[in-house]
Amino acid sequence: MKIILAEKVSPATLAVFKSEPDWQVLTHDQVPDLPAALANADGLVVRSAVQVDDKLLAFAPRLRVIGRAGVGVDNIDADAATRRGIVVMNTPGANAIAVAELTLGLMIALGRQIPKANATMHAGKWEKKSLQGVELRGKTLGILGLGRIGLEVARRARSFGMEIIGHDPFVSAAIARENQIRLVSVEELFRESDYLTLHVGLTPQTAGIINEASIATMKKGIRIINCARGELIVEEALAEALKSGQVGGAALDVFHKEPLKDSAFFGLENVILTPHIAGSTAEAQEAVGIQIALQVREYLKLGVVQNA
């Protein structure tokens, strides 16, 4: 078997493949020319940077499996892979804690203006008077998407004394009850939330769900956090709402175009921007790497498909 690890993965991830004495494993630094390396590859592992499109797959006639170390598979043309008989797998859940923790961190940072406090201190200013914040306690947190990440966010937010409401057409009333989440319609979610956090995948139904019309139905001053996918938000509409004060603050980790080079959000004081780091913790990267390596190995050896 020949495996290409097209992006940086942890040593433990590499070790899973290396435990197969007859397998050839090439890491990203050993692959200067990815299309050429794919010519006789059986497995390919990527994170989010490598675009696996039909054009690239045309160079990989022997490829049987693509493993995405992470959740979102939007950098992989799954239809093209399927047409070519290639299985695409991901690692749902393995970075859920990392994403949930950043979400809570951003909520606190928004309410307490931590970035501004830090920036003004570094500029030699003591801005105590302008830095009064608000507490999470007693506020309503709306969670759009109650999968693994949404539920981890709910568990943590509860310990801050927040009331949790959520919308997810696929979640059962029992799961919601168990997690003390009041299930509501998407309209109610937008109308009632003081903080709104997005944890849904990007689909035709969710693309642009935060737009001028939906923002107009939200509580004035709502704070919005997005650690899911940039395309869930119509960025220009959110930027306008942040300027008018309809949205009081936003913390965004994901964007339509990444890396973000130019943006309507640049310079807005009520926006916190981070470079798609929600899943980037040592623990999560280790977990997604090992999990995808085990899945890919199992598929190539035994034909067992997991998380496809």
Could you list the active site residues?
A: 229, 258, 276
Strand order in the sheet with 247-252: 182-183, 163-167, 140-144, 195-198, 222-226, 247-252, 271-273
Give the range of 17-25, 68-76, 210-218, 240-248 binding ligand MLT by CB under 6 A: 68-76
Residue type, 267: G
Q: Which is nearer to ligand MLT, 176 or 284 (CB)?
A: 284
Q: Which of 25, 77, 89, 95 binds ligand MLT (CB under 6 A)?
A: 95
Backbone angles phi, psi at 237, to 5 degrees: -65, -40
Distance CA 10, CA 48 (A): 15
First-to-last C-alpha distance (Å) of the chain = 20
Which ranges of 143-211 does DSSP label H, i.e. alpha helix?
Answer: 148-158, 173-178, 186-192
Q: Which is nearer to ligand MLT, 92 or 208 (CB)?
A: 92
Instruction: Tell me: does residue 226 bind ligand MLT (CB under 6 A).
Output: no
Q: Which of 14, 23, 72, 298 binds ligand MLT (CB under 6 A)?
A: 72
Which ranges of the chain does DSSP label H, i.e. alpha helix?
Answer: 11-18, 34-37, 54-57, 78-83, 96-112, 114-122, 148-158, 173-178, 186-192, 212-216, 235-244, 282-302
The least distance separating ligand MLT from the CB of residue 70, rounded to whole angstroms, comes to: 3
Query: Which structure tokens are listed for 196?
Result: 């709104």
Q: Which of 71, 81, 238, 293 binds ligand MLT (CB under 6 A)?
A: 71
Q: Which is nearer to ligand MLT, 34 or 287 (CB)?
A: 287
C-alpha of 253 from chain center: 8
Taking CB positions, which residue lies at the least distance from ligand MLT? 70
Distance CA 265, CA 216 (A): 19
Q: Which is nearer to ligand MLT, 70 or 111 (CB)?
A: 70
Number of residues that bind ligand MLT (CB under 6 A): 7
The least distance separating ligand MLT from the CB of residue 48, rounded to whole angstroms, comes to: 4
Q: Which of 43, 67, 70, 289 binds ligand MLT (CB under 6 A)?
A: 70
The least distance separating ligand MLT from the CB of residue 162, rounded to whole angstroms, comes to: 24
Instruction: Tell me: does residue 47 bind ligand MLT (CB under 6 A).
Output: yes
The least distance separating ligand MLT from the CB of residue 226, rounded to whole angstroms, comes to: 11
Instruction: Tell me: does residue 147 bind ligand MLT (CB under 6 A).
Output: no
Q: Which of 67, 147, 248, 279 binds ligand MLT (CB under 6 A)?
A: 279
Distance CA 275, CA 255 (A): 9
Query: Which structure tokens are listed for 261?
Result: 């080079």
Q: Which is nearer to ligand MLT, 70 or 248 (CB)?
A: 70
Q: Which is nearer to ligand MLT, 149 or 271 (CB)?
A: 149
Residue type, 15: A
The least distance separating ligand MLT from the CB of residue 241, rounded to whole angstroms, comes to: 24
Query: CA Rg, the chain, in Å?
Result: 21
Residues interacting with ligand MLT, by CB under 6 A? Answer: 47-48, 70-72, 95, 279
